[in-house]
Amino acid sequence: MTQTIDPVFSSAVLSAPELALNDLDFDALSQAMGGLKGEVDKNPQTAAIILAGGTGERFGKEGGKQLVEIAGKPILTWSAEAFDAVGDIGLIVIVCPEDRCSEYLKRAIDPFPFVTPIVVAPSGPSRQESAFSGLEFVPDDYEYVILHDGARPLISPDLIAHTIATLKGNIDCDGAVVAHPAVDTLKVVENGVIVGTPDRRVFWNAQTPQVFRAGIYRRAHASALSDGFMGTDDSSLIERLGGRVLVVEGKRDNIKLTVPEDYLMLAAAVRTMYMKGAEE
């Protein structure tokens, strides 16, 4: 009898994915996939901060999720390659646990032909503190800072470039955030009882990347630190100062690897990429 694995509650899918995927899906996860071509413009204006400091407790994989491989490359490598392929990005800062910086470089960066300069910064106890740590490694001559979750491996260079261009093209705005319109019906609940059904058309699910003018982003962090404010994402730091942040519609396959079933969703997305490649 074939063993059944519940990918939601069992991390065993990570040690035996062939039991949860069909043959074609598993092949897509185990075969190497060609990387993107890195490039850097003559005068790049944007620095990227890739947040890879999470412990991955909900993911259920010892050592965290950033180095879990898909199609022959660590998740973190996929994310970094997308930013390496955007010419306007002149620096990539990878924020990771201080005691694992050399391991992250050895496994996710050094074996691959990156063109953009890459440095590592120590992560902090929270996402916000990790972002601030990464920001300290960004020289003042960069006009824009773009942040991304290292556990969102399917972000595309085109979407990154478009998000940066959206902010650059709107001089009265301070940032731009990739997001996706809410598709489920939302309920307001108090003490286990539904008290309202808001119009979901005004709700969006925030993703990354999120890009900001570097000056206001630094001021936003300084203000949050001074006031003891902890935001749920980088944009919230700008918003509390009255900053204007645009939304850029992203794709639903910009999946964040958080729990084991996300791995299966990534498998399906990668399988689709392989099939499209075979057809072209």
Per-residue pLDDT, 83: 97
* Alpha helices in the chain, H assignment, sequence order: 23-30, 75-84, 101-104, 127-135, 157-168, 214-227, 234-239, 260-279
Per-residue pLDDT, 61: 53
Q: What is the pTM assigned to this prediction? A: 0.84
The pLDDT profile of the chain, 280 residues, written as one tens digit per residue, is 334 333 333 344 444 444 444 444 444 444 444 568 899 999 999 999 999 976 554 444 555 678 888 877 888 999 999 999 999 999 999 999 999 999 999 999 999 999 999 999 999 999 999 999 999 999 999 999 999 999 898 899 999 999 999 999 999 999 999 999 988 999 999 999 999 999 999 999 999 999 999 999 999 999 999 999 999 999 999 999 999 999 999 987 788 887 777 777 777 777 776 666 545 5
Tokens representing 105? 């470089």
The residue assigned the tokens 């307001």 is: 188
Domains of the chain and CATH, by start: 25-276 (3.90.550.10)
Per-residue pLDDT, 70: 81
Segment holding 122, helix H or strand E: strand 118-122
Alpha-carbon torsion (166, 251, 231, 90), positive or negative? negative
Per-residue pLDDT, 265: 74
Per-residue pLDDT, 268: 72
How many angstroms separate the CA atoms of 166 and 174, rounded?
Answer: 11
Tokens representing 154? 């399917």
Chain centre to alpha carbon of residue 163: 14
